[in-house]
Amino acid sequence: MIKPIRKPAIAGSWYPDDPEMLRKEIRGFLGRVERRSFEGRVIGLIAPHAGYKYSGQVAAYGYKLIEGKSYDAVIVIGPSHRYPFRGVSIYEDGAYETPLGVVPIDKDLAAKILEKSKRISPVLIAHQQEHSLEIQIPFLQVALGNFSFVPLVMGDQDEATCEDLAAAIIGAAGDRQVLIVGSSDLSHFHSYNKAVAMDGIVLDHIRKMDAQSLLRDLSQDLCEACGGGPAAVTMIASRRLGADGAEVLKYANSGDVTGDRGSVVGYASAVFNT
């Protein structure tokens, strides 16, 4: 049986489809982030998922911290934008392809995650056009080199689903050194000042690693994050896997890039570490 390779859906639009141009652009983003001495092990990252023109520089603040590092596997979690379904979809075998090459699925880890929750199933159609995962892969390819991963798309982002997915990840990870990446943008289409205020609520919860309060405030429309579920799962799983530090590395919104402050989208990069 031929293992399914998930082909890129947004190469050439959200990011360059030419490998040399893509690698050069990502290295440029990373090069503009000051290298810092960073003690401890990075367990989780939150990264934005807009086109690189808008959020690539923000994402680079997180990926800079793992540049040249090695992990047994990476778990990337994103929200479903295009295909509605219940629960969480896992791509359990095969690979994801980008212009920089093919990244294999960690089949063993995926199988262990799948068996630990009835909310998780292989709804492969949910991955086909989903950009929230794909946009992270080239950054990981440049920062880490060769790696294997498990892609997860959340159809539901309620607290019960977040807790269930986090527990499945923790149980499956065992003693493996894993990196968890939660893919999320923040508020959408508000004025600059309102966006900064709303996004500040999210950032405060991230700094405190308080996933439950984040999900509560999202449910009450006090703030916005289209990947609030993935961000919460990353916080919960990172803490239980040993992370005791959290830092918002960079915040910006589309108004900072385009100059249009009338209707903006917020982006943040954050890290959870030992």
Per-residue model confidence as pLDDT tens digits over 182-222? 999 999 999 999 999 999 999 999 999 999 999 999 999 99
pLDDT band of 268, cuts 50, 70, 90: very high
By residue range, what is the domain housing residue 107?
Answer: 5-273
The number of distinct structural domains making up the chain is 1
* pLDDT reported for residue 2: 59
CB 44 within 8 A of CB 237: yes
pTM: 0.97
- What tens digit of pLDDT does each residue of 140-189 get? 999 999 999 999 999 999 999 999 999 999 999 999 999 999 999 999 99
Residue for token pair 């023109």? 53
- What tens digit of pLDDT does each residue of 41-52 get? 999 999 999 999
- The DSSP code for 67 is T
- The count of other CB atoms within 10 Å of the CB of residue 260 is 10
* pLDDT reported for residue 1: 56
Distance CA 248, CA 270 (A): 4
- What tens digit of pLDDT does each residue of 64-103 get? 999 999 999 999 999 999 999 999 999 999 999 999 999 9
* pLDDT reported for residue 38: 79
- Domain containing residue 189: CATH number: 3.40.830.10
52 exposed, middle or buried (CB, 10 Å; 0-12, 13-18, 19+)?
Answer: buried
pLDDT band of 39, cuts 50, 70, 90: confident
Distance CA 166, CA 232 (A): 9
